Chain A
Amino acid sequence: MKTQLRVNGEPRAIEADSDTPLLWVLRDHLRMTGTKFGCGIGQCGACTVHMNGVATRSCLVPFASAIGTNITTIEGLSRNGTHPLQRAWLEDNVPQCGYCQAGMLMAAAALLHQHGSPTDEQIDSFITNICRCGTYPRIRAAIHKAAARIRAAQEPHPHS
């Protein structure tokens, strides 16, 4: 039986066992492999996506319970990788092996939705994903950099 899921603004027809985690529906049925499998128990955050704008660990979500929600994955975070976070990530050479970074970016994007100017403490409590390469200091710096850029873009132009 086919079911509809809304991913990155597009309706997608899916045929999968109903208890299949959203993570594996995205990866294996929709071939959207940007969302990563890390631990399967919601610890590491490599599988973080947005469900109705909220950072969610997709390995713990049976896909049946994702029906009717708006799901955003790393592939839909921006057009052509131009989200301020993605640009800051490139400029600051944040990723090493890179495997956890899609989840980090999705968590950081959800954080910026909630707190446009996050404090270090807000970053600490919001970004609980694991990176084994140790890119944390660069992640923190890149979040601040992207937040500052978003703020600057939103400020009214002095001559307008």
Chain B
Amino acid sequence: MTTPLLSRRDFIVAASAVGSGMALAIVPRIPDAMPGPATRSELTPWIVISADDTITIRVPGPEAGTGGTTQICMLVAEELQCDWAQVRAEPISYKRNSREGDLYIGQTGTWSTFAGGGHEPEIIATMLQVGASARERLRAAAALRWNVSVGEIEARAGLLTHERTSRQARFGEMAAAAAAIQLAQEPAPKPPAEWTLLRKLNPPRLHIRSVVDGSSVYGIDVCLPGMLYAALVQSPVHGGKLKRFDFEAIRHMPGVMGVAIVDPSEPRIELEKPAFWAHTTAQSGIAVVAKHYWQARKALEALPLEWDPGSGVEWKNTEQIYQAAYARLAEPADEVVKETGHAPKLIEQGGYAVIQARYLTPLCEHAPMEPLNGTALVTDDRVEIWHPLAMTSQALVIAQEETGVAPENIEFHLPLVGGSFGRRVGGDDLRMVLAVAKKFPGTPIHVIWSREETFRQGRYRDLQAARLVAALGADGLPQALVAHVAGHDPVTHGLDDGPYVNGCIPNARIETSNVQMHILTGQFRGPGYNSQCFIIESFIDECAARAHIDPLEYRLRIFSKWPDPGWQACLREVAARAGWGRKLPARHAQGLAIGNWGTSGAPREGTTAAAVATVEVAETGDIVVHALDLAFDCGQILNVDAVRAQLQGSMIFGLNVCLNEELNVENGRIVEGNFDRYPMLRIANVPREINVHMGALSGHARYGGTGEVGVGVVGPAVANAIFRATGKRIRAMPFRNAGLQDT
């Protein structure tokens, strides 16, 4: 275990200064603005204990629904031995992080923002150590005060007890003394077998109490003294430019204060990008700024605008894009991303049963329920940001690029995030907020996208077309596989990193081609994988059907060569639980798929999941999914209920993606602007049976993330079920367009 560095400096007692300037504001809890009790001891930069025993744990990342902030607090609390009911989460101060030499991020790394999905060993080790070190200081302080041996002090449930002399103190009473304690040696965290909170309890996620009573503060709820609202519109064709606007037409409208032009050609500094970089270029746009949001929005709607659409306008319709992607598959590929053996040669030489198929996955919008928005206060030498973002390290770079202000003068206040699913990773929305706010220096500006603007200015799941060819051996199993994927900067996670092409199919070649498009794409829950799992698992099903082998048996045989037994275990568990092979009514069938998110192609990495969909196809062609069953192996689990929630949610997300989701293009513009045209599953459409089965968990040392894997496997499981129910093979999403009605 790596021991985090806790320097002397970290244990200085800091009474929190309370400012009154924010009294009327609705702001998230942040270190500098939170009114606190007079005695508030910062035990470490991560832990503040108040005299009333409130334990504030600083968390290196936002809460977007995964429960990541709760998980961080549980790690600390496990070792701290505090009373869980007293625990509060609070984001770290990014300004302080910058000013004190990466005080926080230096310990947990850039990826800490995703804590709550998979947990990096460094984060787990750091947080356990933070809790253990703080507890030992509390014990040492009590021993010193009571003049007894530290070994006789028990710390439990927020109390320090010395049994022999019947003395007891609350953590809050001892915190100030503890903060001054120096230990000769940092304590070692206890072994997992002795955990009492982690793996054992599933307390309500810390943020949800404020959710259910309406007091929670999401980005859109932020309100600051003197704040103005902005309604933003960007070029309807991505990449287009604002040509003309007529402010005089709206100047007289109630509340209107002005407009802000976002001009991508304005000079901007460019910094070295973090590892996980997405499109964050400024887009040409204009925002109307007004006293109230509705005034800004109405004035924006009334504002005469003219756009130069740019070259994107040449894409007349969606079909034209699909045909371009399919056509690219017939050409030689740009790049070979994976090559094992001699797949093309084996396929061409004859002597094998050759099977081929073509698939397509469309553009999809993340559609987080909180529309894009953010608030910023920009001055010459200071930036304050209140923004629902999912990746702070990237946001910090964007803030510097857009404003030119140094990181030690940039502060992020992290409100709750009303869903991300990848949308709020890239930070392009933050860049637009800053580009607007810097035109009104000294005034906090809250930019809110309409739902239509959120839809049409997305960073979409990219479109992927794929052509797969396999040669089946005498045993029916694939001996060679060639896959060509064409899309907008295609990502092949889920195809190039699975067992099939890393040993189970002896000859494999994966190649990609770029289809140039003006439409902006980005990270979408399980990037690449959410398309590729559908493509490869549909194709493997087609191979099984050609070989006349049961789809479960077929996959079990393939994975018999794979050194990670988790794959077979997931298949066996889900098959047993879902009753694979049982007799079903007419027009009903089950389909199977398996995938993994988070692997690099090696065994025992990431999270493997197998899903069975139990589906009915009505005579009308309507697809009714009666049940989704899923078994998974992420190694180990810290919080069973949190993992269950992520898996349930990702299965439903994946179901919507495969059944419903497709963005269309018309003259370069995105057609769909709201939920009336982009159908979403409601409670009535979600299967009553969404079953997560724990029986395939291997107990391997990793803590794989569980937010993505379900998204990938559901689509192919449903498509494979539809094939078994109807004999019709669906090779493109969304399935609602498949035309399954009886003819």
- Interface-lining segment among B73-81, B592-600, B679-687: B679-687
Residue contact B370 to A36, C-beta cutoff 8 Å: yes
Residue contact A93 to B292, C-beta cutoff 8 Å: no
A74-B369 contact in complex given A16-B292, A99-B218, A132-B421, C-beta closer than 8 Å = no
Which residues of A from 68 to 125 have beta carbons under 8 Å from B?
73-75, 77-78, 80-81, 86, 89-91, 93-102, 105, 120, 123-125
**Residue B213 interfacial (CB < 8 Å):** yes
A98-B292 contact in complex given A33-B26, A133-B649, A134-B651, C-beta closer than 8 Å = no
- List the A residue with the shortest CB-CB distance to B448: A37
> Which one, B205, B223, B421, contacts A31 given CB within 8 A?
B223
Residue contact A130 to B682, C-beta cutoff 8 Å: yes
Q: How far is the CA of A99 from the CA of B369 in the complex (A)?
A: 6
Which residues of B from 306 to 340 have beta carbons under 8 Å from A?
none
**Residue B700 interfacial (CB < 8 Å):** no
Q: How far is the CA of A134 from the CA of B220 in the complex (A)?
A: 21
We find that the number of chain B residues with CB closer than 8 angstroms to chain A is 64
> Which one, B298, B418, B688, contacts A120 given CB within 8 A?
B688
> Which one, A17, A31, A90, A97, contacts B418 given CB within 8 A?
A97
A37-B371 contact in complex given A16-B292, A98-B65, A137-B686, C-beta closer than 8 Å = yes
> Which one, A33, A74, A86, A96, contacts B649 given CB within 8 A?
A96
**Residue B356 interfacial (CB < 8 Å):** no
Q: How far is the CA of A19 from the CA of B420 in the complex (A)?
A: 32
> What distance in Å separates the Cβ of B390 from its nearest Cβ neighbour in chain A?
11
> Which one, A29, A73, A131, contacts B369 given CB within 8 A?
A131
> Which one, A90, A93, A99, A140, contacts B419 given CB within 8 A?
A99
> Which one, A39, A97, A129, contacts B65 given CB within 8 A?
A97
Chain B positions within 8 Å of A10 at CB level: none
Chain A positions within 8 Å of B450 at CB level: 40
**Residue A44 interfacial (CB < 8 Å):** yes
Interface string of B416-430 (1 = CB under 8 A from A): 111111000000000
> What distance in Å separates the Cβ of B669 from its nearest Cβ neighbour in chain A?
19
Interface string of B645-673 (1 = CB under 8 A from A): 10011111100000000000000000000
- List the B residue with the shortest CB-CB distance to A21: B294
Interface string of A37-51 (1 = CB under 8 A from B): 111110110100000
A90-B649 contact in complex given A39-B451, A139-B683, C-beta closer than 8 Å = no
Residue contact A37 to B212, C-beta cutoff 8 Å: no
User: How many residue-residue contacts, CB under 8 A, span A and B?
Assistant: 192
Residue contact B217 to A38, C-beta cutoff 8 Å: no
We find that the number of chain A residues with CB closer than 8 angstroms to chain B is 63
> Which one, B216, B217, B369, contacts A44 given CB within 8 A?
B369
Which residues of B from 173 to 231 have beta carbons under 8 Å from A?
202, 204-205, 207-209, 211-218, 220-221, 223, 229
A75-B213 contact in complex given A24-B294, A127-B683, C-beta closer than 8 Å = yes
Which residues of B from 667 to 726 have beta carbons under 8 Å from A?
674-676, 680-684, 686, 688, 690
Q: How far is the CA of A1 from the CA of B658 in the complex (A)?
A: 51
Residue contact A140 to B294, C-beta cutoff 8 Å: no
Q: How far is the CA of A131 from the CA of B209 in the complex (A)?
A: 18
- List the A residue with the shortest CB-CB distance to B70: A93
A130-B675 contact in complex given A93-B641, A96-B645, C-beta closer than 8 Å = yes
Which 10 residue pairs are nearest across A and B when measured between Cβ atoms?
Answer: A34-B214, A134-B652, A97-B65, A99-B418, A74-B214, A81-B213, A124-B684, A98-B211, A134-B649, A96-B65
Chain A residues near B (Cβ < 8 Å): 16-17, 19-21, 24, 27-29, 31-41, 43-44, 46, 73-75, 77-78, 80-81, 86, 89-91, 93-102, 105, 120, 123-125, 127-140
Chain B residues near A (Cβ < 8 Å): 26, 64-67, 202, 204-205, 207-209, 211-218, 220-221, 223, 229, 254, 292-295, 298, 366-371, 416-421, 448, 450-451, 641-642, 645, 648-653, 674-676, 680-684, 686, 688, 690
What 6 additional pairs, Cβ within 8 angstroms, besides A46-B369, A130-B675, A131-B369? A96-B65, A97-B64, A97-B417, A125-B684, A136-B681, A138-B648
